Amino acid sequence: GVDIPPVGVFIIERETGWLKVTKPLDREEKDKYVLYSHAVSANGQPVEDPMEIIITVTDQNDNRPVFTQAVFNGSVLEGAEPGTSVLRVLATDADDAVNSNNGVVSYSILSQVPEKPQPGMFTIDSSSGLVSVAMLGLVAQEVPEYTLEIQAADLGGYGLQATATARITVQADNMSEVGNGTLTTHVLNTATGLPAAGLVVRLAQLQEPGPQWMELAQRHTDADGRCQPLLAPGQAKSGTYKLHFETAEYWQGLGHTSFYPFVEVVFIISDPAQKLHVPLLISPYSYTTYRGS
């Protein structure tokens, strides 16, 4: 802070010994300085051993929370019980969250669109950002999608604020349809042992002579890590298909950084009448899949 980088941050008055700063300090750039003061006589001879001075920069709440993404997507089965997990949002704050509340983020739901069958169909854990079902009454035919405005505020909920959007798809609870699907999938988070909910899954088919891919379906995994059939009975044809899993967005929502932004599984259907199940096991660092029927 004096003669090594960052240089010139501090000066000391030779006569009084007052230590002063020469410019504003930013804790987010450097939170501690270690200085060594030397007392010398008029002819430059040391009169005392050097003294170590440790300066800790106290945090100011000068950074607002930042959501890891503008829109979070999730899905839930209609008729889901209160307490069913739907998705998780995440916001970060550069301020100090250890020695102060400046960087402690608290979450809340500002609005729900539409407000049917009534407001407050969903709730959010103020600390973890986990959105879950708050009350009974989700019906896919009446309200197929909800849009929530989520707020993150530091100082434990009383400071600077930021907002993001959560889109929740309500899936019809038609288990017979799921069971009769030609192509199904299931995604499991092996880091927690829980289903991966709210993960975007896309299905595409290779168009001959190629190499063009035509998207056939897009789904969101539900609270059980499953989604509606990607190929309904009679829809499958012989050919090459690709399942695309948006894993980066899922891990970001949980506060993790993944080594891979997505996972793609390419497979061939030779018998359109055969039922196929393609599970996916994921962690932030690896993934595994296999083909079942």
**CATH value at residue 16:** 2.60.40.60
- Residue 188 and residue 285 in one domain: yes
Q: Residue 214 domain-assigned?
A: yes
Binding residues for substrate are 186, 226, 290
- Whether 34 and 72 map to the same domain: the answer is no
Domain final residue, candidates 145, 171, 197: 171
Pair (14, 98) in one structural domain: no
CATH number of the domain residue 248 falls in:
2.60.40.180
Same-domain status, 76 and 167:
yes
Among residues 171, 191, 216, the one where a domain terminates is: 171
For each of the chain's 293 residues, which pLDDT tens digit applies? Answer: 456 777 888 888 877 888 888 888 887 788 888 888 888 877 778 888 888 888 888 777 888 999 988 988 888 878 888 888 888 899 999 888 888 889 999 999 999 999 999 999 999 999 989 898 999 999 888 999 999 999 999 998 899 999 999 999 887 765 444 445 578 888 988 888 788 988 999 999 998 776 788 888 888 888 888 887 888 777 788 889 999 999 988 888 888 888 889 999 999 888 888 888 888 999 998 898 876 55
**Do 216 and 144 sit in the same domain of this protein?**
no
Domain termination residue (choose one: 171, 196, 224): 171
- Tell me if 61 is assigned to some domain: no
Supply the range of the domain harboring residue 40: 10-56
Longest Cα–Cα distance of the chain, Å, equals 98
In this structure, which amino acid lies at residue 22? Answer: T
Residue 2 lies in a domain: no
Rounded to two decimals, what is the model's pTM?
0.56
Domain membership flag for residue 120: yes
Closest CA to 189 of 134, 245, 244, 264: 245
Are 132 and 197 within one domain?
A: no
Residue list for the binding site: 186, 226, 290
- The torsion angles phi and psi of 240, rounded to 5 degrees, stand at -105, 130
229 and 155 belong to one structural domain: no
Are 118 and 209 in the same domain?
no
Do 155 and 112 sit in the same domain of this protein? yes
Number of domains making up the chain: 3
Question: Could you tell me if residue 239 is inside a domain?
Answer: yes
Whether 4 is covered by a domain: the verdict is no
- Residue 3 domain flag: no
Report the distance separating Cα 176 and Cα 118, nearest Å.
29
Rounded CA gap, 172 and 161, in Å?
35
